[in-house]
Amino acid sequence: MLVLIVLTALIMAPLGLFARYEPRPVIGWVLALAPLALFVVISALAPEVLAGGRLEQVIPWVPRMGLELRFALDGLSMLFALLVSGIGTLVVLYTAYYLAGDPGMGRFYLTLFIFMGAMLGLVLADNVLTMFMFWELTSVSSYLLVGYKHDYPSARRGAQMGLLITVGGGLALLVGLVLLGNVAGSYTISEILAAGEQIKASPFYTPAMLLIFLGCFTKSAQFPFHFWLPNAMQAPTPASAYLHSATMVKAGIYLLARLHPTLSDTPLWLYTLTGVGMTTMLIGAVVANRRDDIKGLLAYSTISKLGTMVLLAGMGGPEAPAALVATILAHALYKGALFMLAGAVDHEADTRSLAQLGGLRRAMPWTAALSILSSLSMAGVPILFGFVAKEEQLYAAVDNGLPPGLDIVVLVAVVTSAVFGVLYSWRLVSGVFFGPRGSGMKEHVHEAPAGMLIGPALLTTFSVVLPLGLLPATATLLQPAVNAISNEGAKISLYLFPSEIGLPLILSMTALLIGAVLTRFEPQIVAAPSPLPPWLNGDRIYDAAVDGVLRGATAFTRTLQNGRLRSYMTWSVLSLVAVVAPPLLFFGFNGLALPTLDGVEPFEFVSMLLIPIGVIATLQARTRLGAIIAASFVGLMVAYIFVIYSAPDLALTQLLVEILTTVFLVLLFAVMPASFEPLTAPAERSRDGLIAVIGGLVFAGIAFAASSSTELSPISQAFRAESQSQGFGDNVVNVILVDFRGFDTMGEIVVLFIALMGIYAMLRLRPGAGLARDDAETPAQPASPEAPAPQGNGQPGRPTPKEQEAPVAGKGR
């Protein structure tokens, strides 16, 4: 069942391509049925989870590596899965109207469904490796969605930035998860959690956790990696609402919550998450007030809330799990709605700048009403669900698990972010819908199509209705999620108003009040200097880093691949020697006797002596042809040695390779000047000679060590014994090639083919030269003017009979 949930979305993906045809709204409605069905199915599973159950499904994948597709549904997974499928339904519907008329809509749906499947897989996975696979898939689909408008450099930059940062963090995460799995002895999440004490006692706990934090912080846009999220706002608004606010960016929070039950409760966890979460929360809240772009404002407010969630996951205390779950739900509800509404405003008014917008409440009354309600929820104004969640946050902050001193700091920070939350909520509503009519908008602004308002309307309704009587039911629904996060049996109880007036309520009201007062000073606050020093600009650091990597890579490539064959040879030989020589020197010669000349026949000795003579002749040759002949002589002598020692297969192969090598060399060298010209200084030549000698010695050493080792019995005996019985062949060499080691041969012919592709591309597909000859590949038109017959070496060779027959139209032009 659980696998089917994940697979359904992935299988739906290609169907999304149908959205390129008309009538699009209808297709959008039909497509939205899929996530709706998933939502219904997950809801149908809910009673079992609510009763404290846990659904599991395992499909073995690579059993020997401990890889399996293991899925489980518990309270936390269910909360996220419901959000992913529920908001997914609304987003799919919204897209049909938002992107109406856009030719790439099919592609957008394709990626959106891939993301949906990946995100469902991520939250349902019960194996860290399965989870990681889906984790990376969400990064990739986010990349494709942010880069949807790939004609724009800013979209490409935003996409690449998000990808590099989240996937870079993903790499760290993978290492962390593998460390965790190795310590726990299992990659199953439930077993890792069961081994919590053992992991915490292990020396790998700190590195593993730090790496996992890195993965979570990059994914969930925590300071100092937060800057990719505003840049990801280049995505079409449905993707921003879905990925970059409601679901994907919460993946990091999800993982932290998942590991919370047994792996938290250490100073490392407490201080890292509290510090990073608090910083992110404050920076996001402050910077959101300096943004002019409404999507940018919403992005920074999202960063702020993600910081709040990390803080709640980190700081401990009895109320924190409940507050975390309530915040996740509240945020998904109001932020998903606000993003979609911002998209509607952008769609109709054709601008997202607060400076250019204004007074839209008359032109877009429904959008205005929904935005006001959702913004009130974002500001935490009473009787909306955002207020309930903020109450929970303040409860948790008052009763946190931090040491004295620090607990006050956290409390003040939470209140401060609430104050700024009021301010940016007010800016959003007043800037777009109130005041004089904006200057930069379209001439006639209309209300957004009803299809674009359905989603935000539903989400806003939840924000409004849940606190009005549905709070006990909501708490019941969220309790399993709290159980999954908390190790102390925390209880969630949501109140619209607490029975007694305590510190949290006073703080909440104070925040509202201060926020309301601050709205009077909005211009000053917007114009205030940035809270971050100018050098701490993530965008700029990112650009510098990417630039530096590219420049470094260029410099590295220029040094290593300078187009001179001799320097390629130098680097290849040197790196081989560097890798092979140390183990050879340390271990290769243990217990080996020096070879003796006993039993070597005189003619064998002479043939061996001829090889070095051939090598010297090659080096001394004055002409290219002479060098080729001398080098071939060396090869032939080697083949002869194979014959002497009865290795006919090797001898045959060596002989043929030698012949063909000579042919290729002649083909290349025939057109070059007959004699060599010295291009290098004598000192350089001595250096190259030394490298060559060292390389030769190392390989001679390997050959010697391999053939004279007495410690290991040679594998050839086993092969010889089994060649006839197992491989049905008398020729052991060939049986090894095609049967015993057939997979190696497979690899070799693939390498051979890749080499051909490389040479072909280099000679035929390079710009300019050889391009004219491409159609010579189709032998049907050999004499077309673009592909005249090649003539050997510039000399007009006698045309072959075929060429004489063929019309030589090209010659006349």
Give the binding site for other proteins (CB under 8 A): 648-649, 652-653, 656-657, 659-660, 663-664, 667-668, 670-671, 727-731, 733-735, 737-739, 742-743, 745-746, 749-750, 752-753, 755-756, 759-760, 763-764, 769-770, 772-773, 776-777, 779, 782, 785, 788-798, 800, 802-803, 806, 810-813
CB of 757 to other proteins, least distance (A): 8
Strand (E) or helix (H) holding 316: none
Closest to other proteins by CB, 256 or 736? 736
Closest to other proteins by CB, 152 or 760? 760
CB of 807 to other proteins, least distance (A): 13
Q: What is the dihedral of CA 549, 552, 554, 557, to 10 degrees?
A: -120
Strand partners, 57: 71
Per the structure block, which two tokens stand in for 9? Answer: 């979305």
Closest to other proteins by CB, 497 or 753? 753
Distance CA 424, CA 430 (A): 10
Closest to other proteins by CB, 551 or 720? 720
Question: Nearest-CA neighbor of 204 among 230, 184, 227?
Answer: 184
Closest to other proteins by CB, 620 or 778? 778
Length of the chain measured in residues: 813
Closest to other proteins by CB, 178 or 737? 737
First-residue to last-residue Cα distance in the chain? 71
Question: Nearest-CA neighbor of 703 among 582, 580, 600?
Answer: 580
Closest to other proteins by CB, 548 or 799? 799
Phi/psi class of residue 809: alpha, beta or left (left: φ > 0; alpha: ψ in -120 to 50)? alpha
Closest to other proteins by CB, 404 or 812? 812
Closest to other proteins by CB, 209 or 636? 636
Closest to other proteins by CB, 64 or 622? 64
Per the structure block, which two tokens stand in for 767? Answer: 């710009």
CB of 770 to other proteins, least distance (A): 6
Contact criterion met (CB below 8 Å) for 181 and 204: no
Per the structure block, which two tokens stand in for 359? Answer: 């007074």
Strand partners, 55: 73
CB of 810 to other proteins, least distance (A): 7
**Largest alpha-carbon pair distance within the chain?**
109
For residue 737, the 8-state DSSP code is: I
Question: Nearest-CA neighbor of 389 among 237, 492, 277, 476?
Answer: 492
CB of 790 to other proteins, least distance (A): 5
Helix (H, G, I), strand (E, B) or coil at 71: strand
Distance CA 92, CA 12 (A): 12
Tell me, letter by letter, the H, E, C secondary structure of 772-794: HHHHHHCCCCCCCCCCCCCCHHH
Distance CA 773, CA 34 (A): 51
State the DSSP string of 446-457: -PPPHHHHHHHH
Distance CA 159, CA 167 (A): 12
CB of 83 to other proteins, least distance (A): 40
The backbone torsions φ and ψ at residue 489, rounded to the nearest 5 degrees and listed phi first, read: 65, 45
Closest to other proteins by CB, 488 or 774? 774
CB of 185 to other proteins, least distance (A): 27
Strand (E) or helix (H) holding 67: strand 67-73
CB of 60 to other proteins, least distance (A): 13
CB of 777 to other proteins, least distance (A): 7
Question: What is the C-alpha R_g of the chain?
Answer: 35
For residue 623, the 8-state DSSP code is: B
The backbone torsions φ and ψ at residue 195, rounded to the nearest 5 degrees and listed phi first, read: -90, 25
CB of 766 to other proteins, least distance (A): 10
Distance of CA 632 to the CA centre of its chain: 50
Contact criterion met (CB below 8 Å) for 209 and 269: yes
Q: How many CB atoms lie within 10 A of CB 350?
A: 13
Question: Nearest-CA neighbor of 455 among 338, 325, 300?
Answer: 338
CB of 671 to other proteins, least distance (A): 5
Closest to other proteins by CB, 27 or 631? 631
CB of 266 to other proteins, least distance (A): 45
Residue where the block lists tokens 């739906």: 12
Helices first, then strands: H and E counts in the chain = 33, 2
Interhelix angle 24-50/2-15, nearest 10 degrees: 170
CB of 775 to other proteins, least distance (A): 12
Distance CA 709, CA 496 (A): 81
Closest to other proteins by CB, 406 or 738? 738
Closest to other proteins by CB, 207 or 742? 742
CB of 668 to other proteins, least distance (A): 6
Distance CA 414, CA 392 (A): 11
CB of 624 to other proteins, least distance (A): 13
Per the structure block, which two tokens stand in for 290? Answer: 């300096």
Per the structure block, which two tokens stand in for 523? Answer: 């211009």
CB of 702 to other proteins, least distance (A): 23
CB of 629 to other proteins, least distance (A): 16
Question: Nearest-CA neighbor of 410 among 419, 421, 399?
Answer: 399
Interhelix angle 565-583/682-708, nearest 10 degrees: 40
Closest to other proteins by CB, 207 or 799? 799
Question: Nearest-CA neighbor of 191 among 252, 119, 263, 123?
Answer: 263
Helix (H, G, I), strand (E, B) or coil at 102: coil
Closest to other proteins by CB, 281 or 732? 732
CB of 666 to other proteins, least distance (A): 8
Closest to other proteins by CB, 553 or 746? 746
Closest to other proteins by CB, 652 or 706? 652
